[in-house]
Amino acid sequence: MKEINELILPDDLRYAVDHEWARVEGDRVRVGLDDYAQDQLGDIVFVELPQPGETLERGQEFATVESVKAVVECYLPVSGEIVAVNKQLEDSPELMNESSYGDGWMVEVNPKDLSEMDDLMTSAENLERLKGAE
Amino acid sequence: MKEPLGTTGLLLNEPLLWEKGKKGRRGFSLPPRDIEPAHLDKEFTGEGPDFPDLSEMDVVRHYTRLSQWNFGVDTGMYPLGSCTMKYNPKTNERQAGLSGLSTAHPLLPASLSQGVLKLMFELGKHLSEITGMDATTLQPAAGAHGELTGMLLIHAFHKSKGTQRSKIIVPDTAHGTNPASVALCGYKPVPVNSDEKGILSLAAISQVMDEDTAGIMITNPNTLGLFEENIRGIAQTVHSKGGLVYCDGANLNAVMGVVKMGDIGVDVMHLNLHKTFSTPHGGGGPGSGPVCVKNSLEPFLPVPRVEKRDGQYVLSEDYPESVGKVLAFYGNFGVMVKAYSYILSMGPENLKRASQLAVLNANYIKEKLKGTLHLPYDRPCMHECVFSDKYQMANKVATLDMAKRLMDYGFHPPTVYFPLVVHGAIMVEPTETECKEDLDQFIETFEVIAKEAREDPDLLHEAPRKCKVRRLDETTAARKPCLAG
């Protein structure tokens, strides 16, 4: 497993306490699991994603991720309608390990209120928090 | 250290039975036919199942070889926390094999089944006495089934009061089946964190307990192997708001004959006969999960119930408030016979002593290993103790690596990564049946493994090295499962 200083936490993302990341892309917000979560989970073997068209509030469960070690629920970092899901994860859940911020993204949301992004942690804040948890 | 238990030896490879058979081979001979063959209607014929053709010896060697790859509590120490893999005395098997019991048919009338009914009646009484409860059902097939039955009883209780509630409190040290049983019964599990001592505080319960909460599901001793010391106060708080207290009795092995659950505020609990009462388990069963209740819940117990009327044992369905049947017939009877045999052959004093020794053994391991392994809750434990891989992670050696390495030394690994409240948990439950010499060897082995973790981490990453099967590729097995024979 990675040491805290080995974690990759890109600056252009915002982070939720449950280790989801969110990135504004045009009028959408793309969501996935951060490097800390994928590293702690270990090899991810199954991802259950929502149906596009579902509208969820911030903090609601939107996906379940299963690794060889654990099963975890993921909570939506911003409210809105699910407009796209990463179908590639059905056959290739390992993308969440190999490219957690790239091809391993999970869903795209049409956000209800983009200002919710400001409530999420920055990369530096997330790193500080993770240091505190050690 | 004494010579390690783990060694290499000649194990024979064995293919799948489908790869082994040869057309026309068989393991039996039918007597000569003395009547004309009659042909079945076409609708009843077709391709048979794909079974291989094998001789008797093919089959015997197949299973004998597979059994030699196996490890069980008859082979060696099996310190699987939360599972109570104690030795199962062979007398239990002998009693369960008695033909009057093993061939008893569940559809025989009660008048011809007096012996088996008496056994069930008395086993229920014994379990009620051991737990300090008032009545017991033997029907549930295993622990989680007992939990569900218990939840149904709680639901029936509130229904009889003309109200219904929506939530059940479940601590973070619960078995994973607890919130599942709650949800399956239609309740919402309300999680509560344990405190810095690893147990539940009265304050935490007072905060969440309200009049929409049907009760609490509490494991005592909990899954950290710690006794819930505040149980009385917690029970009072729950009762004062009209709720009920469910005790997950999976860890009863620590407190048999020591704690009367009925006296500390428990209203309903399940037991695992296949843990505490020394009936074999692992590999999927069968188990048995009796549920014991206080008088207030007795009317709701599953039917049929065994009763004694005028010196005769009968099966009665005459309980209008019963939750009904939870299993076909009367439960896993063979398991009951073994538990009954265990209880009678031990007697009250020795059941208590078994618990005392189980606690002593766990504390011995805890004290001896706490410098070698990180001990997150350093206080007296009950029948199991929980370490973590914190010290070894400095060398990137994780719990899993140490668990696999234990196999090379001839021990079954302990429970790993549970309970979830401890990161990288290593949960050791030695049980009362291990002698001091074996405990010492286990402790020394862990010390050796910790040394290996410092000096040669890769040795552990590659473990096990001596087993018939090396480390499995769990990732590929989960991502690309092959379920064909």
CA B58, CA B90: separation in Å to the nearest integer?
Answer: 28
Which residues of chain A does B425 touch, with a Cβ-Cβ cutoff of 8 Å?
none
Whether residues B394 and B369 fall in one domain: yes
The CATH number given to whatever domain includes residue A33 is 2.40.50.100
Does residue B252 form part of some domain?
A: yes
Q: Return all residues near B146 (Cβ < 8 A) that are at least 6 apart.
A: B140, B270, B271, B272, B289, B290, B291
Kindly state whether residue B63 falls inside one of the protein's structural domains.
Answer: no
**B187 against B475, higher pLDDT:** B187
- The residue assigned the tokens 């609990």 is B269
Average pLDDT on B151-158 reads: 98
ipTM: 0.73
Whether B393 sits inside 8 A of A70 (CB atoms) is no
Contact B393 A68 (CB under 8 A): no
Of the candidates B351, B375, B348, B350, the one whose C-alpha atom is nearest the C-alpha of residue B363 is: B375
- Tell me whether residues A68 and B475 touch, CB distance under 8 A: yes
Residue B47 forms part of a structural domain: no
In a domain, A132, yes or no: no
Considering chain B, what is the average pLDDT of its residues? 95
Q: Which residue has the tokens 């490890």?
A: B71
Residue where a domain terminates, one of B325, B345, B365: B345
Residues B255 and B272 grouped into a single domain: yes
Buried b or exposed e, range A92-111, using 16+ CB within 10 angstroms:
bbbbbbeebbeebbbbbbeb
| Residue B1 belongs to a domain | no
Q: What's the CATH code of the domain at B390?
A: 3.90.1150.10
Of B393, B420, B474, the CB nearest to A68: B474
Asked whether residue A22 is assigned to any structural domain, the reply reads yes
Angle, helices B114-131 vs B333-369, to 10°: value is 30
Does residue B138 lie in a domain region? yes
Residues of chain B neighbouring A68 (CB-CB closer than 8 A): 474-475, 478
- Find the helix or strand (DSSP H, E) in which B340 lies: helix B333-369
* Residue to test with chain B: of A44, A47, A68, A94, most B Cβ within 10 A: A68
Structure confidence by residue, pLDDT tens digits, B334-354:
999 999 999 999 999 999 999
Residues B354 and B332 in one domain: no
Which chain B residue lies closest to A70 (C-alpha atoms)?
Answer: B417
Contact A43 B396 (CB under 8 A): no
How many domains does the structure of chain A reveal? Answer: 1
Q: What pLDDT digit, counting tens, does each position of B164-180 carry?
A: 999 999 999 888 899 99
Number of domains into which chain B is organized:
2
pLDDT tens, B79-128?
999 999 999 999 999 999 999 999 999 999 999 999 999 999 999 999 99
Same domain? For B335 and B364 the reply is no
- Is residue B108 domain-shared with residue B238, that is, in the same domain? yes
* B415 and B320 in a common domain: no
Range of the domain at B173: 91-345
Q: CB–CB of B478 and A45 under 8 A?
A: yes
Residue A25 lies in a domain: yes
| Residue A49: inside a domain | yes
As a whole-number percent, the residues of chain B with pLDDT over 90 amount to: 86
Among B393, B398, B478, whose Cβ lies nearest the Cβ of A68? B478
Residue B1 confidence (pLDDT): 67
Final residue before a domain boundary, out of B327, B345, B363 = B345
B301 within some domain = yes
Cα–chain-centroid distance for residue A16? 8
To probe the interface with A, which of B393, B400, B479, B480 has the most A CB atoms within 10 Å?
B479
Are B417 and B339 in the same domain?
no
Contact: A68, B417; criterion CB under 8 Å = no
Residues with Cβ within 8 Å of residue B31, at least 6 apart in sequence = none
B418 near A CB under 8 A: no
Nearest CA to B218 among B272, B188, B179? B179
Instruction: Give the distance from residue A80's alpha carbon to the nearest chain B alpha carbon, in angstroms.
Output: 25
Tell me whether residue A134 is in a domain. no
